């Protein structure tokens, strides 16, 4: 399995965050990620669990046992905000809001924004401002939710995040599930040109947790 959505980038950045930035992450409801140790996904295991996932019934069939995949499952594994408002139910940025354009000024003009660029701007400062909030969310989305097959960052969620948005009141667990269903549906196994761009970290953690509980 070719995987485009790995936690390594986010977790390596967490190690170098300032105290102020870590407090900001906690205030957004993502404090549990600061303690997470997993940095890479075993590709064979990730592929195995993905193949066992039925996105229509939302279950993983492991050795004849069906594991129900729910928002609570995501919360148990990742500790991110659950409940609240769904991301896509929020108002999108009004046309006169320049916040997104200001955020993009951190990067070279007309350049493709990749995770490496996000990492560079985060480590270049100890501040925890609006730009940091968006940078962190881009990292989170592209390492734990859904990336893209072309290597550029998935920036879609940013269109719903303004300066006034309460990040901790967004149902990020449901968003992870939405990404899982969408990316499993579009993934073509055994194709050299197909990348899995969905939440592989959640799948592997969920599988490992349930296998461990059976021992």
CB atoms within 10 A of CB 192: 6
Which of 172, 177, 169 shows the shortest CA–CA distance to 202?
A: 177
- Give alpha helix (H) positions in 35-129: 43-52, 71-78, 99-104, 115-123
**What pLDDT score does 188 carry?**
87
- Per residue of the chain (215 residues), what is the pLDDT tens digit? 677 678 888 888 998 999 999 999 999 999 999 998 877 888 899 999 999 999 999 999 887 889 999 999 999 999 999 999 999 999 988 777 888 889 999 998 877 999 999 999 999 999 999 999 999 999 999 999 999 988 899 999 999 999 999 999 999 999 999 999 999 999 988 777 788 999 999 999 999 998 766 54
Question: pTM to 2 decimals?
Answer: 0.92
Q: How many CA atoms lie within 13 A of 11 on its CB side?
A: 17
CA dihedral over 39, 44, 50, 52, signed as positive or negative:
negative
Asked if residue 75 lies in contact with residue 183, where contact means CB atoms within 8 angstroms, the answer is no
Asked if residue 142 lies in contact with residue 5, where contact means CB atoms within 8 angstroms, the answer is yes
**What pLDDT score does 55 carry?**
93
- Cβ neighbours of residue 12 closer than 8 Å, sequence gap 6 or more: 39, 119
**What pLDDT score does 4 carry?**
67
**What pLDDT score does 215 carry?**
45
**What pLDDT score does 110 carry?**
72
């Amino acid at each position: 399995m070719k995987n485009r959505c790995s936690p390594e980038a986010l977790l390596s950045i967490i190690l170098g965050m300032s105290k102020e930035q870590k407090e900001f992450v906690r205030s957004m409801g993502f404090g549990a990620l600061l303690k997470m140790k997993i940095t890479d996904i075993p590709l064979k295991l990730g592929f195995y669990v993905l193949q066992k996932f039925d996105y229509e019934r939302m279950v993983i069939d492991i050795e004849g046992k069906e594991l129900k995949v729910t928002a609570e499952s995501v919360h148990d594994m990742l500790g991110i905000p659950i409940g609240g408002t769904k991301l896509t139910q929020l108002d999108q940025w009004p046309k006169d809001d320049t916040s997104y354009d200001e955020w993009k000024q951190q990067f070279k003009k007309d350049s493709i924004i990749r995770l490496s660029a996000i990492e560079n701007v985060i480590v270049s400062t100890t501040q925890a401002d609006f730009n940091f909030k968006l940078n962190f969310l881009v990292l989170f989305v592209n390492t734990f939710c859904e990336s893209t097959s072309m290597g550029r960052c998935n920036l879609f969620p940013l269109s719903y995040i303004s300066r006034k948005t309460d990040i901790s009141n967004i149902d990020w667990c449901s968003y992870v599930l939405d990404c899982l269903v969408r990316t499993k549906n579009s993934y073509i196994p055994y194709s050299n040109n197909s990348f899995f761009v969905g939440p592989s970290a959640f799948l592997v953690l969920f599988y490992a947790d349930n296998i461990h509980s059976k021992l």
